């Protein structure tokens, strides 16, 4: 049997064929096997062993990948009022499991690498890239939970390696459908039903229609994938916009094109999110109690766990709306606050007078989480493993271990504060026939738009001078 290295050297034609197949996959959603990968030979001891084989031909791709935030979970960004700040998943504060410090063994289940369970992980070692999690076309690949990202050896790694190809929705969804600790928890507009979407769920990902894979919109070069969450990339770098494909004017009606100066496409074309599965809308950590019993709501959603607290789930949710210019404000670790007020962990930047801003739809998630009552800043609790909160339900211990890992002082006194996070809604796009109509947002009977919170004195349709742009501008 010929080695992978030999095949790579002798067959330029095969390489060109591979490129054409990958291009076809990205355009049509149809994934085809790449012929030379059938020459890959096992057995493989673990995922690292597979990656070593990938590196025989793909050293440059590995180097490119190691420059991405999917690998580093970190970047430096210039933020208004804060200067140059280290951002990314490693540094972000959220309303779910709060922070990754001391919890890496669990959080890195969604890192595209093997073995990142503590601060000793070598980010310069390409053999620890998990190629399969993004390029498995079989749907069979699995990773073990709670050990810093390790391939599940009960699956046939050789078979999977032979059939690698362009990423599909299920690859991206391995992490993005399960962020926040379980399915459909975090985003609201990302869930596993999108793998086999119909036109009602998402017009772009409809498997009987356009059947877009994620990279159709998140156009990728050298493994750099545009698009981001507001908390991880508040500077708004590498945004993805509908206008990237739908150049203005989009509509036949002048009034709709006029609206698009102030209203994001998503606002009208995503009337609701969490359309197939309920999403978590609130998480109260203060309700955690060691001897309590788990509980399900009337619709079968797990709404209480003794070691996590109380949850609120909702399905088919109407978004909340706010001005957004592509940039976000964020709370950073160690930043003090007024404990008597609700704490916003992130928020969209923009207002009615900001010509770069448009009205966007958001999922607004409410939390209640631990903070230091002396220092008046949030605590990054230690949650995982034998010494973690999920095992012993001891807030004081969780605070001491977690804050040591975060590098912040813990006073020994803690309480709980209400928190808020914004999640921009971009997926679950509906066709024009199902988009919002005038009466959904305008008129005495509408309940969708809070015009006052958007900076208007009243409904701009009925009050002269309230509209941001004149229709003839």
- pLDDT per residue over 322-351, tens digit each? 999 999 999 999 999 999 999 999 999 999
Mean pLDDT value across residues 276-289:
98
Residues 6-64 have pLDDT tens digits of 333 333 333 333 333 333 333 434 445 566 788 899 999 999 999 999 999 999 999 99
Q: Closest by alpha carbon to 423, among 280, 263, 215, 254?
A: 280
* Alpha-carbon dihedral angle through residues 463, 467, 471, 473, given to the nearest 10 degrees: 140
Mean pLDDT value across residues 217-227:
96
Ranges of H-type helices in 199-316:
254-259, 265-269
Looking at residue 247, what is its pLDDT?
86
Q: Closest by alpha carbon to 357, among 271, 469, 270?
A: 469
Secondary structure class of 452 (helix, strand, coil): coil
pTM of the model: 0.91
């Amino acid at each position: 049997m010929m080695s992978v290295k030999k095949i790579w050297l002798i067959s330029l034609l095969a390489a060109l064929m591979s490129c054409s197949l990958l291009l076809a996959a990205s355009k049509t959603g149809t994934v085809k096997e790449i012929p030379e990968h059938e020459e890959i030979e096992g057995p493989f001891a673990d995922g690292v062993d597979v990656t070593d084989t990938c590196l025989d031909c793909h050293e440059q791709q590995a180097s490119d990948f190691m420059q991405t935030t999917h690998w580093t979970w970190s970047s430096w960004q210039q933020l208004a009022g804060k200067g140059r700040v280290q951002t990314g998943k490693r540094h972000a504060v959220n309303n779910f499991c709060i922070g990754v410090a001391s919890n890496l063994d669990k959080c890195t289940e969604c890192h595209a690498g093997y073995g990142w369970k503590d601060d000793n992980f070598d980010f310069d070692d390409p053999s620890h890239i998990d190629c399969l999690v993004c390029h498995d076309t079989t749907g069979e690949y699995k990773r073990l939970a709670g050990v810093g990202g390790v391939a599940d050896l009960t699956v046939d790694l050789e078979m999977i390696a032979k059939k690698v190809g362009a990423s599909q929705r299920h690859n991206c969804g391995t992490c993005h459908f399960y962020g926040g600790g379980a399915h459909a928890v975090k985003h609201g507009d990302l869930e596993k039903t999108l793998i086999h979407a119909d036109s009602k769920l998402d017009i772009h990902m409809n498997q009987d229609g356009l059947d877009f894979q994620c990279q159709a919109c998140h156009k990728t070069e050298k493994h750099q994938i545009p698009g981001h969450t507001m908390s991880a990339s508040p500077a708004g770098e590498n945004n993805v916009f509908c206008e990237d494909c739908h150049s203005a004017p989009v509509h036949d009606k002048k009034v709709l094109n006029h609206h698009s100066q102030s209203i994001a496409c998503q606002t009208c074309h995503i009337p609701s999110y969490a359309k197939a599965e309920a999403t978590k809308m609130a998480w109260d950590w203060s309700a955690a109690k060691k001897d309590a019993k788990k509980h399900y709501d009337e619709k079968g959603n797990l709404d209480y766990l003794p070691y996590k607290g109380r949850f609120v789930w909702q399905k088919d949710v109407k978004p909340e709306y706010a001005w957004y210019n592509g940039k976000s404000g964020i709370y950073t670790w160690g930043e003090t606050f007024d404990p008597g007020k609700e704490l916003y962990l992130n928020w969209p930047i923009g207002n009615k007078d900001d010509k770069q801003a448009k009205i966007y739809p958001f999922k607004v998630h409410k939390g209640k989480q631990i903070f230091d009552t002396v220092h008046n800043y949030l605590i990054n609790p230690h949650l995982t493993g034998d010494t973690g909160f999920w095992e012993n339900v001891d807030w004081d211990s969780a605070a001491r271990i977690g804050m040591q890992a975060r590098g912040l002082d813990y006073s020994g006194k803690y309480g709980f504060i209400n928190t808020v996070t914004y999640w921009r809604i971009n997926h679950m796009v509906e066709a024009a026939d199902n988009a919002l109509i005038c009466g959904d947002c305008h008129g005495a009977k509408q309940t969708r738009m809070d015009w006052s919170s958007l900076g208007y004195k009243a409904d701009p349709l009925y009050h002269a001078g309230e509209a941001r742009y004149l229709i003839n501008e």
